């Protein structure tokens, strides 16, 4: 037995199959910081550039 705080999107399949149960416990909104770590000098392709730009826009 145990509990964990997880995003609903990470457990949808388990919720649908009934192997897990989601329990709301507050009206608070949780935020998980996100970062990007890349190798120095890394050149992104089109998809990588789009993804980085998308993250930057969401961070504003």
DSSP notation for 44-60? --HHHHHHHHHHHHHH-
Given a cut of 80, is residue 60 above it in pLDDT?
Answer: no
Per-residue pLDDT band for 14 (boundaries 50, 70, 90) equals: very high
The average confidence (pLDDT) of the chain is 85
Given a cut of 80, is residue 23 above it in pLDDT?
Answer: yes
pLDDT tens sequence across 26-52: 777 777 777 788 889 989 999 999 998
Using an 8 Å Cβ cutoff, are 14 and 20 in contact? Answer: yes
Q: What angle do CA 3, 15, 8 make, to 5 degrees?
A: 70
Task: Tell me what pLDDT residue 46 has.
Answer: 96
């Amino acid at each position: 037995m145990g509990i964990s705080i997880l995003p609903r999107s990470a457990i949808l399949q388990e919720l649908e199959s009934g192997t897990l149960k989601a329990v709301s416990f507050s009206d608070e909104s949780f935020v998980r910081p996100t970062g990007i770590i890349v190798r120095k000098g890394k050149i992104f392709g089109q998809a990588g550039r789009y993804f980085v730009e998308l993250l930057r826009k969401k961070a504003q």
